[in-house]
Structure 1
Amino acid sequence: MNKKMIVYILGKMMGVEGLLLLIPALVSLIYHEKSVISFLIVAAILLVIYMVFGRKLPTSKQIYGKEGFVIVGLAWILWSAFGALPFVISGSIPYYIDALFETISGFTTTGSTILADIEALPMGISFWRSFTHWIGGMGVLVFVMMITSLDDENAMPLMRAEVPGPEADKLVPKARHTARLLYGMYFVLTAAEVVFLIFGGMNLYDALLHAFSTAGTGGFSNRAASVSFYDSAYIDGVITVFMILFGINFNLYFFILLKDWKSILKNEELWAYLGIVGVSIAIITGNILKIYGTVAHAFRYASFQVGSIITTTGFATADYDQWPELSKSILLALMFVGACAGSTGGGIKVSRLLIIVKSIRREVRKMLHPNAVTIIKVNGKKIGQDTLKNVNLYLTCYIIIMIVSILLVSIDNFDFATTFSGVLTTMSNVGPGISKVGPVMNFHPFSAVSKLVFCFDMLIGRLEIFPYLLLLSPELWRRRF
Structure 2
Amino acid sequence: MNINMIVYVLGWVLKLEAGLMLLPMLCALIYKELWAFSALGISALLSLFIGTLVTLRKPKKIAYYVKEGFVICALSWIVLSLIGALPFYITGTIPHYIDAVFEIVSGFTTTGASILDEVEHLGKGLLFWRSFSHWVGGMGVLVLVLTILPLGGGYNMMIMKAESPGPAVSKMVPRVADTAKALYKIYFFLTIAWILIFFVCGMDLFDALCIAFGAAGTGGFAVRNSGMGDYSMFCQFLITIAMIMYGVNFNVYYLMQKRKYKDALGCEEARVYFAIIIASSIFIAFNILKMCGGDLIYSLHHSFFTVASLITTTGFSTLDFNTWPQPSQMVLLFLMYCGACAGSTGGGIKVSRVIILFKEIGKDLLVLLHPEAVRHIRLEGKRLEHSVVRSVNCYLIMYVFIFLVSVFIISFDKFDFVTNFSAVAATFNNIGPGLGAVGPVCNYSEYSDLSKIILTIDMLAGRLEILPMMILLLPKTWYGNN
Judge same fold: TM > 0.5, yes or no: yes
Band of TM-score, shorter chain: over 0.9
- For 1:102-133, what per-residue CA distance to the aligned partner results, in whole angstroms no more than 9, with x for missing partners? 00000000000000111111111000000000
**Which position in structure 2 is the counterpart of 1:76?**
77
User: 1:157 aligns to what SS in structure 2?
Assistant: helix
Tell me by how many angstroms 1:267 deviates: 1.4
Give SS of 1:399's match: helix
Q: Name the aligned partner's letter for residue 437 of structure 2.
A: K
In structure 2, what residue type is equivalent to 1:6?
I
> Could you tell me how far 1:146 is from its partner in structure 2?
1.8
Distance in 2 (CA, whole Å) between partners of 1:298 and 1:42 is: 45
1:152–1:175 Cα contact (<8 Å) kept: no
CA distance in 2, matches of 1:132, 1:150: 26
Q: Does 1:12 align with 2:12?
A: yes
Question: Could you tell me how far 1:223 is from its partner in structure 2?
Answer: 0.8
Q: 1: CA distance between counterparts of 2:119 and 2:153?
A: 41
Q: What's the offset of the Cα at 1:266? A: 2.2
Match of 1:352 in 2: 353
Q: Deviations over 1:299-337 (max 9, x none)?
A: 100000000000000000011111111111110110000
1:217-228 equivalences in 2 (<5 Å): 217-228=218-229
Counterparts of 1:253 and 1:87, CA distance in 2: 36
Amino acid at match of 2:47: L
In structure 2, C-alpha distance between the alignment counterparts of 1:224 and 1:201, rounded to whole Å:
19
> Number of aligned pairs?
480
1:233 paired residue number = 233
Is 1:272 aligned to 2:272, yes or no? yes
Distance 1:156 1:305 in 2: 36
CA distance in 1, matches of 2:321, 2:423: 15
Mapped partners of 1:469, 1:50: distance in 2:
26
1:248 aligns with 2:248: yes
Give the letter for the 2:411 counterpart.
Answer: S
Greater CA drift, 197-206 or 416-425: 197-206
User: Hey, what's the Cα distance between the residues in 1 that align with 2:431 and 2:14?
Assistant: 27
Q: Which residue of 2 aligns with 1:263?
A: 263
SS at match of 1:312: coil
Task: Find the aligned partners of 1:224 and 1:446 in 2 and give their Cα distance.
Answer: 20
SS of equivalent to 1:71? helix
Q: Which amino acid is 1:245 matched to?
A: M
- 2:296 and 2:247 map into 1 onto residues whose CA distance is 25
- What secondary structure is seen at the aligned counterpart in 1 of 2:57? coil
Q: TM-score, normalised by structure 2?
A: 0.98
Per the alignment, in what secondary structure is the counterpart of residue 207 of structure 1?
A: helix
Stretch moving more, 111-120 or 259-268: 259-268
Distance (whole Å) between structure 1 residues aligned to residue 147 and residue 153 of structure 2: 11
Contact 1:152 1:176 in 2 (8 A): no
Q: Shift of the alpha carbon at 1:410? A: 0.5
Q: Which position in structure 2 is the counterpart of 1:333? A: 334
- 2:137 maps to amino acid: G
Deviation at 1:152, TM superposition (A): 5.9
Aligned-pair identity in percent equals 46
Point out the more displaced range, 44-53 or 93-102.
Answer: 44-53
Aligned residue for 2:291, secondary structure, equals helix
Residue 258 of structure 1: CA displacement?
Answer: 1.5
Task: Check whether the contact 2:15–2:47 (CA below 8 A) recurs between aligned residues.
Answer: yes
Query: One-letter code of the match for 2:258?
Result: L
- Please report how far the alpha carbon of residue 389 of structure 1 lies from its aligned counterpart in structure 2 after TM superposition: 0.9
1:193 Cα offset (Å): 1.1
Letter in 1 for 2:358: V
Asked if the contact 2:67–2:477 (Cα under 8 Å) also holds between the matched residues in 1, the reply is no
Deviation at 1:385, TM superposition (A): 1.0
Mean Cα displacement is larger for which, 402-411 or 287-296?
A: 287-296
Q: Which residue of 2 aligns with 1:45?
A: 46
State the 1:12 CA deviation: 1.1
Q: Does 1:118 align with 2:104?
A: no
Separation (CA, whole Å) in 2 of partners of 1:251 and 1:480 = 36
Q: Name the aligned partner's letter for residue 251 of structure 2.
A: N
1:178-327 correspondence runs (5 A): 178-230=179-231, 232-292=232-292, 293-327=294-328
Task: State the 1:264 CA deviation.
Answer: 2.1
* Superposed displacement of residue 449, structure 1: 0.4
Matches within 5 A, 1:32-111: 32-33=32-33, 34-111=35-112
Give the drift of 1:91.
1.2
Q: Structure 1-normalised TM-score?
A: 0.98
Tell me by how many angstroms 1:413 deviates. Answer: 2.2
Report the counterpart of residue 466 of structure 2 in structure 1.
Answer: 465
Deviation at 1:480, TM superposition (A): 6.8
- Output the CA distance in 1 between the equivalents of 2:445 and 2:475: 33
| Cα displacement string for residues 329-375 of structure 1 (whole angstroms, at most 9, x for unaligned residues) | 11011000000000000000000011101111111111111111111
**Matches of 1:194 and 1:209 in 2, distance apart?**
9
Ranges of 4+ aligned residues in structure 1 off by more than 6 Å: none
- Contact 1:301–1:317 (CA under 8 A) maintained in structure 2: yes
The answer to whether the 8 Å contact 1:337/1:353 transfers is yes
Task: Identify which range, 96-105 or 146-155, moves more after superposition.
Answer: 146-155
**What's the CA shift string for 1:58-83, capped at 9, x where partnerless?**
11111111110000000000000100
Matched residue, 2:418: 417
5+ residue gaps, structure 1: none
RMSD: 1.1
| Counterpart in the other structure of 2:157 | 156
Shift of 1:55: 3.2
